[in-house]
Amino acid sequence: MITSFLNQFLGIAAILGQIFLAVGVVYFLLRKKSDDRIINFFAEKAFLISWLISLAAVAASLFYSEIAGFPPCNLCWWQRIFMYPQVALLGMALIKKDFKIIDYSLALALIGALFALYHNYIYYGGSSLFSCDASGLGVSCTRRYVWEFGYITIPLMSFTAFLLLIFFLAIRKYKNKLD
């Protein structure tokens, strides 16, 4: 029951994140270069929003593996390696008001997004370049635990979270260069 609710809730959150990304990128590219209150707002709140996204991603991944009983595959573990430190990095940046970690956080998000992109590629039918335990001895990277709204899966939720982190941190980095 709770798993079904969380699947739908996270599915809706992923769709809203994807819509926000599409609108945000188009807005950023087409906006006027003068004083932009929307960009300023998101740049100012980038670390808080990014921390909340990373916290939600970590909480969701722990729920799926520890409560729902969905064992993570090898690619899920790699994505976790690049998402879990974000909670600590971004949290410490917020507490100390020291935002110099932006390059480290962006690097983690970019690498995590590449793993998530590859995971989605093989998840939706691409041929795997590496073994992903489809032999039956481990968890297959293509095993479907979540399928919401005809396309939302755990790997796609992960990819969306990484892209959101990249977007907000890139907006902050861009704004820092202007100041």
Across 17-40, average pLDDT: 87
Q: Which residues touch 11 (CB under 8 Å, ≥6 apart)?
A: 146, 148, 149, 152, 157
pLDDT beyond 80 at 14: yes
Tokens of residue 176, six digits: 């820092």
Q: Tell me: pLDDT of 51 over 90.
A: yes
62 has pLDDT over 90: yes
Is pTM beyond 0.85? Reply is yes
Confidence of residue 31 (pLDDT cuts 50, 70, 90): confident
Give the residue-averaged pLDDT of 73-78.
90
Write down the pLDDT at residue 86. 98
Sequence-separated (6 or more) residues with CB below 8 Å from residue 2? 67
Q: Where are the domains of the chain?
A: 2-30+37-178
pLDDT of residue 124: 83
Residue 160 or residue 29, greater confidence: 160
**What are the tens digits of pLDDT across the range 106-148?**
999 999 999 999 999 988 887 776 666 554 556 777 777 888 8
The band of 170, judged by pLDDT with boundaries at 50, 70 and 90, is: very high
